[in-house]
Amino acid sequence: MSDATIISARKDVLNAVILAHNYQIPEVQGIADVSGDSLELAKISKDSTADVIVFCGVRFMAETAKILSPRKTVLLPVLSAGCPLADMITPAALKRLQRENPDAWTVSYVNSSAEIKALSDVCCTSSNAVKVVRNVPARRVIFVPDRNLGWWVARNVPEKEILVWEGCCNVHEQFSPDELQEARENFPDAEILVHPECRKELLERADAVLSTSGMLRRAKESAARRFVIGTEEGMLYRLRRESPEKEFFPLGSKRICADMKQTTLRQVRESLERQRHEIVIPPETGDSARTALERMVQYL
């Protein structure tokens, strides 16, 4: 039997749901019950009636699902699938920043560890970061760990003082202004859509700054027929699948997140067959982080 057939059968036995981030390889997105961005998958993991969640993504995403659904079994097919951005802020560094700024609310990007979320007042995703920060009941905000998303938030919420941590995504940081200019010249009729983890020089010059779910909506709703996409290359698969009548091109060379690409059909199958690798969060960490995540989910 094929991996896909075994996955389907085993999923039914365990009452499992398979969630896949938009950056996963096409084969994994193809067998997933739902593909989406961080906010979409967080909401689904919280609301799902499944007993087991198989999270095809990276560790912080599986941790988020476990925090929101502590009674469910959450499996991460590849335990080594991490996020360098999440590793750029440590609990000790955040605590020091909080001591220095006791009047500030801490907003942590969902691309962070469970320990960072537990120290935060509220979490956000790329799709709702501006809305979250605009609505926190404080004039000063500590924003961790992504400086580019933090810059975008500060630009759109000028009434607040944003203290931005100097982390970045090593994939989105690679996109350059020169590549954007070349895209303008090569595809003059195309809309250029970039993720808010890109450098500010691109955020200032793109036609739209959007999360991956926002890119999907824009592609469907826009009158444009061609789009240049500034995010991880896995997003092109879903855009082309859901809007086949339109054309999508990468911004410059395709950028690949090696951690996102670790998950294969075989590893999803083995995770279901052996129920490995289960995510475990200490109760005290999970309880504190849950408050910040549940506040995040409120800002749709």
| CATH code for the domain of 22 | 3.40.50.10800
Give the per-residue pLDDT at 285: 97
Residue 232 is encoded by which pair of tokens?
């991880």
Give the per-residue pLDDT at 300: 55
Give the per-residue pLDDT at 69: 93
List the domain range (segments joined by +) for residue 217. Answer: 172-250
Q: Are residues 240 and 269 in the same domain?
A: no
Give the per-residue pLDDT at 40: 85
Mean pLDDT across the chain:
96
Number of domains in the chain: 2
Q: Establish if 297 belongs to a structural domain.
A: no
Q: Are residues 265 and 244 in the same domain?
A: no
Q: Are residues 264 and 218 in the same domain?
A: no
Residue 56 is encoded by which pair of tokens?
């095809």
Q: Are residues 200 and 232 in the same domain?
A: yes
Q: Are residues 179 and 232 in the same domain?
A: yes
Orientation angle between helical segments 283-298 and 38-47, nearest 10 degrees: 110
Query: pTM to 2 decimals?
Result: 0.94
Q: Establish if 187 belongs to a structural domain.
A: yes
Residues 6+ apart with CB under 8 A from 267: 77, 78
b or e along 31-56 (b: 16 or more beta carbons within 10 Å of the residue's beta carbon)?
bbeebbbbbbbbebbbebebebbbbb
Considering only CA atoms, give the Rg of the chain: 19
Q: Are residues 20 and 78 in the same domain?
A: yes
Q: Establish if 240 belongs to a structural domain.
A: yes
Q: Establish if 179 belongs to a structural domain.
A: yes
Q: Are residues 276 and 245 in the same domain?
A: no
Distance CA 96, CA 8 (A): 47
Q: Establish if 245 belongs to a structural domain.
A: yes
Q: Establish if 266 belongs to a structural domain.
A: yes
Give the per-residue pLDDT at 55: 97
| Low-confidence spans in the chain with pLDDT less than 70 | 300
Give the per-residue pLDDT at 46: 86
Q: Establish if 224 belongs to a structural domain.
A: yes
Q: Establish if 129 belongs to a structural domain.
A: no
